[in-house]
A and B are shown apart, each in its own frame.
Chain A
């Protein structure tokens, strides 16, 4: 509201400044301009860092200070990106990895969040389950890959299973933590309003946990992608992990980097989408 109010105030000043030229410029505009300038400056520095890195990499490999065979070079990576785009493998590999990641991400988060929130209901059950959750969380996901391949085959399902497994425990723990850290006074207030446990769960615990749940979502986007790629490493015929693994085995280092660049871009896209959804679903929070 403060912001809106100031906007109204500054708008009012704007009107009057048309009439009398002596009125000083509203502060609000100045502040907004400074914030924008700050953002532009950060972006410019980020681009500068990237350019310097790439340029020195290119320069070093071109002058044989670095082996182009072992380290690739930005221009060679770009060449492979163009080639992968032209032969269509870029799109198909990205699509399949994105699908695996997305299905695992959604599946793991839905499952983990539901169980994590449900554990709020019973202190007893949550105490019983606790060591199992810790045990599951401590298993290195890569150790499960061979089993996943044996159980679910070399196709899509085994990668989705890997992505799901990478996500589910983190989702469970963040949702449970969110539910358990709700203010006791808040719960007491609901009780004095006559709320049943179901009311408290629906009207307080779930919305109050959304902050933690979304923090978990942002974290697990990357985990889901890692799970899918590990699955593809183990056994697959398509996907970005498959492309990385194949190029690596053939010592085509620039192609490895090219597929990595695409993977990073995919991760950034997915994170961006999750951030957008968070803003949409939790409009009361100041992002």
Chain B
């Protein structure tokens, strides 16, 4: 049913109302349509509480939708396709597993043989800058390191599509920048697709090919910006130094600002 030439993810007229049958039904998402192409990085920004995380949960099939269609590779599957990986602001590492064993979790679930999964996890942790920390428990790692392990866990299943919900929001600025660079490098070099939910406009602009701006709850699409910054897109500092960068930031901010006053 799924055609590899189809875009990884197409969402059309998605709608979500919580507590539909009750008196205090609340409409969180009014109408959202968007698409994510091969090798594309798309960010979704919106005012806080606008239903960004709900959107991601709908896409993963963790929350049932009220109306609309979600096409993964052209097919309408319910739930999360095998080729997608998911990561949240909370690292959600299992405290009883070492960094290495946390990374192998998804591989264990998919019955990858033990030798193979350890080899793959070690490789991933090394590329993500955690050599020497493989056998540490999460409680002994810093916030940035933990989030790196979480990223490695997401990448271990070799997903073609990554769905990330504010993955770096809890980190300090420097750590965040370094991780964004690593993320861009890993995603772009392997032509993966990435849908990033964030409230950080700078993060969205510096990382993405396209930024989708949502309105207040119930969320609709307010604007879509194609980001054309003529620099190496795996270098977050270079993107920030580009003259176009501030323009994008300003116009997206204004779209968020206007809504705050209304």
Contact = CB atoms under 8 A, between A and B. Distances in A.
A124 interface: no
Contact of B62 (A186, A191, A193): A191
Interface stretch (A21-29, A103-111, A226-234, A278-286): A278-286
A1 B136 contact: yes
A203 B105 contact: yes
A2 B139 CA distance: 10
Interface string A77-94: 000000000000000000
A41 B139 CA distance: 30
Interface residues of A, number: 24
A192 B90 contact: no
A182 to B, nearest CB: 11
A199 interface: yes
Interface in B5-32: none
A174 B139 CA distance: 24
Interface string B113-155: 0000000000000000000000011111100000000000100
B94 A1 contact: no
A210 B97 CA distance: 13
B106 A207 contact: no
Contacts of B136: 1
A68 interface: no
Nearest to A206: B96
Contact of A183 (B60, B92, B105): B92
A207 B137 CA distance: 14
A207 B139 contact: no
B60 A2 contact: no
Contact of A285 (B88, B95, B108): B95
A1 B139 CA distance: 8
A38 B240 CA distance: 53
Contacts of A189: 86, 88, 92
Contacts of B82: 194
A189 B153 CA distance: 11
B115 to A, nearest CB: 19
B90 A193 contact: no
A192 B62 contact: yes
Contact of A185 (B90, B109, B140): B90
Interface in A170-211: 183, 185-186, 188-196, 199, 203-204, 207-208, 210
Contact of B137 (A185, A194, A284): A284
A185 B92 CA distance: 8
B86 A192 contact: yes
B90 A207 contact: no
A199 B94 CA distance: 14
Contacts of B139: 284, 286
A284 B96 contact: yes
Contacts of B57: 188
B261 interface: no
Contacts of A210: 96
A207 to B, nearest CB: 5
A207 B94 contact: yes
B230 to A, nearest CB: 36
Nearest to B157: A193
A162 B56 CA distance: 52
12 contacts: A1-B136, A1-B141, A185-B92, A189-B86, A192-B60, A193-B153, A194-B80, A194-B106, A203-B94, A210-B96, A284-B97, A284-B137
Name the 6 nearest CB pairs between A and B, nearest first.
Answer: A1-B140, A192-B86, A193-B106, A284-B137, A284-B96, A207-B96
Interface of B: 57, 60, 62, 80, 82, 84-86, 88, 90, 92, 94-97, 105-106, 108-110, 136-141, 153, 157
